[in-house]
A and B are shown apart, each in its own frame.
Chain A
């Protein structure tokens, strides 16, 4: 009986995900937690089969295609903050359009202050490559911290990360971008400074 109920539960949850019925998914995940509390270990095999985390990229891409965050989607993403931050950070670095960047920043903002703090921690402590990828998002969420943290970090980074930093900052709104680049200018590698000036003016 338990096997059949589990299979039906997984099937319905998968169907909710594929039909983008977002409000049903947190409900399914919450039900799993209730069952887990009553019968510890019984849901371990169900979670990966529902595959909410694997579908996270699909959900975010769907939001970017439609230009809006669907009802209930943030509730699911809030259940997987680490994976959401990771995907959004990488996706931000490949965005070519301002609206996409704004939408991704909104997702992180909606996740709450913890998400911004986590990004700031990455900016402050992660290795150059990983840290540089957070600059674009953090410049939208907390520009004053970019100005505070980045000069010291740039001094430890290779030239390629300086280039990445300037490109990440190109997604910031024009006035904020110019202000940040001006504040960082002396810390930027000499070869990358012409690119920074291009982004300022």
Chain B
């Protein structure tokens, strides 16, 4: 998944055939590759070869709306060391996630989330680098993910996803589209240079 996204970011033209293969391959009447991987392949193909990408996407059965949550292109001239991987999505209502791997688990209320991670507030704060198993409850189905805690501030804790089943990631994509509307384009220029201050990394 991450490698497919990286091919798009790198504009690796040699990967065009592979991306088309992931996007198009069918077995009888089913797509061979999971939706989420096909979406990533479509997004990468649109960057690698836009004309072919548009043609293939039109025949792929992928809803164009699903393509709106895409990896962002890093700005090569930015002085910021770590740039956002995905545009930030402010949710129309806070999403609740529960940790499941701790001795004392707790709830996180999440106002901002994207496919790479999010920011939430809870009763407890964990040290950056801690591993969290998170469960987002959605009716009868859940989304499970593993995440690493990033910056922890008194009011909020940032986390970055490190592992998620592809089907669950697809459900997360749908949820973000339902609750988030259009993503806000990440611009490194918005992160002002504050000399001598410690920059808080963002997922």
- The interface of chain A, by Cβ under 8 A from chain B, is 61-62, 64-67, 94-99, 101, 159-160, 163-164, 167, 170-171, 174, 191-192, 194-195, 197-198, 200-201
Contact = CB atoms under 8 A, between A and B. Distances in A.
A96 B2 contact: no
A89 B130 CA distance: 22
B166 interface: no
A194 B163 contact: yes
Interface residues of B, number: 30
Mostly, the B contact residues are loop
B80 to A, nearest CB: 6
B94 interface: no
A96 B81 contact: yes
Contact of A197 (B3, B146, B199): B3
B187 interface: no
B7 A96 contact: no
B201 interface: yes
Interface string B165-203: 000000000000000000000000001010110111100
A66 B195 CA distance: 8
Given A170-B82, A201-B10, A96 B201 contact: yes
Central interface residue in A170, A191, A194, by most chain B CB within 10 Å: A194
A195 B161 CA distance: 9
Contacts of A164: 129
A65 B6 CA distance: 34
A174 B199 contact: no
Contact of B193 (A94, A97, A159, A198): A97
A96 B196 contact: no
Considering the complex of A and B, which 9 residue pairs feature the smallest CB-CB distances, nearest first?
Answer: A96-B199, A201-B6, A160-B129, A197-B2, A65-B196, A65-B195, A194-B2, A94-B198, A98-B79
A99 B79 contact: yes
- Which of B9, B82, B146, B162 counts the most A-chain CB atoms under 10 A from its CB? B162
B76 interface: yes
